[in-house]
Chain A
């Protein structure tokens, strides 16, 4: 286990390093002078000179690259072109709402996907199974912004049962008012529910067909205990792997959902930075999101390794 952990951790670190490198050199490689690009609609020579200085464009690229990497390693994510604030300061107040949104979505997604997948597998190919499969497939990868405004129109404006936006919310106020979270979480669930439910179901169907479950049955194990104790652990690894990919979708989804519902989270910082071409902030956030994705993948692999050590494959 320890060897596996070290090896997987090493791969994860290399991945993050490659992403950080790519994010840096992409800015160098794309056509156009970064300072001119950042100046955007205000190409005043004095301003461009100022941005050049802020970005340190007069130094050789290799030197800037090294200081960018050492900065990342020491938790210094650079500073904003627009306000001059360190990126970490910009992000601090925005982390709360985003983390709450992500955690609550996962806390609903996991039990829901497990329940749907297991119950569908018990009577595979029955009408319930079909209904679950068709519904989740239909909602797979529907653009969040379109779905969100529809839900807002129905639940917030027509029925008036849920708030339309989460303007001015903080992490703690989101937790205190679950109604604020209802629509954003519902929209986020739609995109990832399908693949996860399907994998749990497929794994359960195979597990229920397997020799050891038949053996447990012959020994009088029935019902919930048979499903949860004997079949489910062996059905889970592929679903856990999918969960890692789901993290990627959730991050992308959260960017859009926060924009739609005006949640003052990390994505609002990101969208502002993109629209004002605040290059250092966007670069820092790209690396940050990559770290999160890699960490989730690593965690998923470790869980799979624990669940079924035989099937662990290090790629």
Chain B
């Protein structure tokens, strides 16, 4: 699947460098927070800079970073363009966890070996096709748009989560604690899901950073390749794609959104890595 260095099984001294965690975490938070704040607050600031349309790729007065391919103000487009990527990635991540936990719990809870196989195997097969390709295939066969992207991103991210939950669950659900809850007459679903999520909390959290970057990666790639949001949308990835032709004329139209995307993913990577190591 995508972006998950599933190397957390190292043991012995191979745990990864310790000690430098705090500095790395601070850098990561600083890097990721900038784009994040801009994405959240930016859309509200757009009216402050909103400008009438000018010539494409111009550097006219009143446009501090010039204009884009359609003559819209680059600063305004950048302020407005972060929200879509982050919201789509967040919704897809939440959906992936919901789906992954449900599948993993079902596979772990069932006493029937064939059902476990039926739930786990197709997910393994899914891994044989690159996730971006699944996205493009679905985009060819059905209506494009944000909903389709979220659904596919959730689907391709779910197996990794399901696998973690299932691995933890195979032991946890046979444990005395789970038996006790059953005997106290708790409802089956509550016991299974609740207990599993509690037990699998750590590995799931350790994996969260990788899931977020994977979702941002795929959502961005989909929008860049033009199968997600419409080509006129205010979105950083769409902006990078649409304004590439003007890289020589008005580099800011491409560089601003590209820098923000890179800063955000690098920041999340650094945070996730430090937190992962601390949890062990």
Contact = CB atoms under 8 A, between A and B. Distances in A.
Contacts of A285: 133
Nearest to B236: A146
Contacts of A243: none
Given A146-B262, A149-B244, A153-B254, A140 B133 contact: no
B157 interface: no
Q: Is the interface of A mostly helix, strand, loop or mixed?
A: helix
Contact of B259 (A150, A245, A315): A150
B262 A282 contact: no
Most buried by A among B137, B251, B259: B137
A145 B270 contact: no
A286 B270 contact: no
B230 interface: no
A118 to B, nearest CB: 13
Contacts of B130: 248-249, 251-252, 255, 289, 293
Nearest to A197: B5
Nearest to B213: A141
A206 interface: yes
Interface stretch (B54-62, B70-78, B218-226): B218-226
A283 B134 CA distance: 10
Contact of A286 (B7, B124, B129, B261): B129
Contacts of A195: 4-7
Nearest to B220: A143
Contacts of A201: 14
Nearest to A297: B128
Given A130-B20, A201-B14, A146 B240 contact: yes
B142 A37 contact: yes
Contact of A282 (B4, B13, B140, B214): B140
B131 interface: yes
Given A137-B270, A141-B213, A275-B226, A125 B19 contact: yes
Contact of B237 (A16, A145, A282): A145
B176 interface: no
Interface in B213-267: 213-214, 216-217, 220-221, 224-227, 236-237, 240-241, 244, 247-248, 251, 254-255, 257-259, 261-262, 265-266
Given A199-B7, A202-B7, A271-B225, A145 B24 contact: no
A150 B255 contact: yes
Contacts of A26: 137-138, 141
B132 interface: yes
Q: How large is the interface on B (under 10, 10 to 19, 20 to 34, 35 or more residues)?
A: 35 or more
B270 A134 contact: yes
Interface string B1-13: 1111111001111
Interface in A113-150: 121, 124-126, 129-130, 133-134, 137-147, 149-150
B46 interface: no
A249 B255 CA distance: 24
Most buried by A among B3, B128, B254: B128
A200 B137 CA distance: 34
Given A141-B217, A195-B7, A124 B137 contact: no
Contacts of B140: 37, 273-274, 277-279, 282
B26 interface: no
Contacts of A31: 142
B136 interface: yes
Contacts of A188: none
Contacts of B6: 195
A259 B226 CA distance: 11
B139 interface: yes
B14 A206 contact: yes
Interface stretch (A17-25, A59-67, A98-106, A219-227): A17-25
Given A143-B237, A252-B133, 11 more contacts: A133-B17, A140-B5, A140-B269, A143-B217, A145-B221, A146-B262, A149-B254, A194-B5, A245-B1, A252-B2, A285-B133
Interface of A: 15-16, 18-19, 22-23, 26-27, 30-32, 34, 37, 121, 124-126, 129-130, 133-134, 137-147, 149-150, 152-153, 157, 164, 191, 194-195, 198-199, 201-203, 205-206, 209, 238, 242, 245, 248-249, 251-252, 255-256, 259-260, 270-271, 273-275, 277-279, 282-283, 285-286, 289-290, 293-294, 297, 315
28 contacts: A22-B125, A23-B137, A26-B141, A125-B18, A125-B19, A130-B20, A133-B273, A141-B2, A141-B213, A143-B221, A143-B224, A149-B240, A149-B258, A150-B258, A153-B247, A153-B251, A195-B7, A202-B7, A206-B14, A248-B130, A251-B132, A252-B133, A256-B132, A274-B227, A282-B137, A285-B133, A290-B128, A290-B129
